[in-house]
Amino acid sequence: MERIAFHLTIEEGQRDAYREKHEDVSDDLVEAYLSSDAGIESYSCFEKDGHVFGFMELEDPAAIKRLMDESEAQADWDAVMDPILVANDDIWMDEVYRMK
């Protein structure tokens, strides 16, 4: 099982909209993730002061990154989120510590 994380920044004044959109994530997007070859075990997003930290535990990080780049369901979700998030092509974070 591998772990990956990403960071997003919410546009000023859009924090409530970000949270509201996550109350109704499309079934198509959820199904795309769960049926992918990535082997997702868990996926969570955390938000504070306009910063979002996303965390996934999965078998194949490359598969989920491909899905995020190529899936129609992801493209639809991105269209919903684009006005809410600061544009950033470099969202992936480096793991710097893991307690074992």
Please give the chain's pLDDT, 100 residues, in tens: 999 999 999 999 999 999 999 999 999 999 999 999 999 999 999 999 999 999 999 999 999 999 999 999 999 999 999 999 999 989 999 999 999 9
Instruction: Let me know if residue 87 belongs to a domain.
Output: no
Total tally of structural domains belonging to the chain? 1
Separation between Cα atoms, residue 49 and residue 89, nearest integer Å: 21
Global pTM reads 0.90
Instruction: Let me know if residue 32 belongs to a domain.
Output: yes
Separation between Cα atoms, residue 33 and residue 74, nearest integer Å: 9
Residue 35's pLDDT is 95
Instruction: Let me know if residue 92 belongs to a domain.
Output: no
Domain CATH for 31? 3.30.70.100
Instruction: Let me know if residue 95 belongs to a domain.
Output: no
Task: Indicate if the alpha-carbon torsion angle 45, 47, 50, 52 is positive or negative.
Answer: negative
Residue 79's pLDDT is 98
Range of the domain at 30: 2-81
Instruction: Let me know if residue 98 belongs to a domain.
Output: no
Instruction: Let me know if residue 91 belongs to a domain.
Output: no
